[in-house]
Amino acid sequence: MRPLDGDAGGTVLLMALFFIDTSSGHVATQHQLVAAGISPAAGLPPRPWLRIQGTGDATTMWYAVMRRQEKGIFIGTLVFRHSPHHSLLLERGWEEIAFSEISAPAPSGASA
């Protein structure tokens, strides 16, 4: 996610459905996948994208987006920040995805 236009550097409160590319671990919101042409506006993105289970109105202010590689694929979850469950997942090797990393992937063949 990127800051909203006009944001003065404060916390951005975006509510979203989050998806993970199970082959790469890349995380994006449904809006980002639609804007990138990966997902239809009225549906789910194709595999290898999988919806991260959790509330449908999650905001990154209150929830951490987490990922972990299991048996060759990436899985994701949403967890309430600063909770015992959040601490437990970190202890068990889950990685918290930084806000700046949540975005649609660059199109194939795009230069960096």
Segment 60-99, tens digit of pLDDT: 889 999 999 999 999 999 999 999 999 999 999 999 999 9
> What is the reported pLDDT for 61?
87
Instruction: Name the band, by pLDDT with cuts 50, 70 and 90, for residue 58.
Output: confident
Give the bridge partners for 21, in sequence order: 49
- pLDDT confidence of residue 14: 54
CA distance 87 to 33: 29
pLDDT of residue 15: 64
CA distance 85 to 71: 22
Q: In the structure, what pLDDT confidence band is assigned to residue 46 with cuts at 50, 70 and 90?
A: very high
- What is the reported pLDDT for 73? 98
Cis bond before residue 107 (omega within 30° of 0): no
Spatial CA neighbour of 102 closest among 68, 73, 67, 56: 67
For residue 5, name the pLDDT band (cuts at 50, 70, 90).
very low
Cα–Cα dist 103/93, whole Å: 22
Taking the model in full, what pTM does it have?
0.81
